[in-house]
Amino acid sequence: MIPPTAALIDMDGTLIDTETVIVPVLEQVSEEILGEPVTREQARSFIGPPLHETMADLAGPGRDDLAAALMRRYREIYQAKQFDIELFDGVADMLRDLSDAGVTLALATSKPEDRALTLLDHLGLTPLFTHVCGAPPEDGPGSEKAAVVARALRACGLSSTPERALMLGDRRYDVEGAAACGVNTVLALWAGLADADEQALAWRLANTPAQARAIILGEDE
């Protein structure tokens, strides 16, 4: 395999261990507003999709006002805790190696773009990324993963040659969004969030950032 020109990289569950913050925040928000906390497994299942989809699922069908209230409160609590989030072990080395090998790195996340940039700066990763593509500030149209991936491809100049890019993500939303744009996905398993069905959708599986690096650079064949 010829190494890709660009790697489109997800954030939550791929670069950063957001479960340690997102799960307790979701538990707190649901208890405050819905009267009972979601279970840990329910909360883990909400990691990945755009926030407005998560809150709509949590609120229930046809309860837009409740979903909006859940989102507002979630953001208030998350904002205070976001800098508690840490990188997964080995991720920084993976990114540096890919960048040193000439692979263009583009962040492709459903997290609002301004918040993603704030976290990248905090973690010291901003210099490694040529492009940062995220959701609009209010998680409106364009926050779907396929839309984010399409923007990342355009930024990398690969809209007409998506086969020259690879997606690195941890959930089916990453796989399906990338596939809609003609991009294969290396599924990151180190967060432990992807089930067997999600794994079956991916082009390749990586148990560690080092393995993901080798796959992207074509060194594992």
The per-residue pLDDT for range 16-29, each reduced to its tens digit, is 998 889 889 999 99
Q: Where along the chain do the CATH 1.10.150 domains lie?
A: 19-84
The per-residue pLDDT for range 99-133, each reduced to its tens digit, is 999 999 999 998 889 989 999 999 999 999 999 99
What's the CA angle centered on 53, arms 20 and 128, to 5 degrees? 55
The per-residue pLDDT for range 29-73, each reduced to its tens digit, is 999 999 888 888 888 887 777 788 888 888 889 898 999 999 899
Which residues, listed in sequence order, are joined to residue 187 by a DSSP beta bridge?
A: 169, 205
Look up the pTM and report it: 0.90
User: What is the CATH number assigned to the segment(s) 6-17+86-216?
Assistant: 3.40.50.1000
What's the CA angle centered on 63, arms 61 and 65, to 5 degrees? 155
Amino acid at 152: A
- Residue 139 scores a pLDDT above 60: no
Residue 131 near residue 125 (C-beta atoms within 8 A): no
Q: Where along the chain do the CATH 3.40.50.1000 domains lie?
A: 6-17+86-216
Which pair of structure tokens corresponds to residue 139? 């998680």
> Rounded distance, CA 26 to CA 18, Å?
12
> Rounded distance, CA 210 to CA 220, Å?
10
User: What is the CATH number assigned to the segment(s) 19-84?
Assistant: 1.10.150
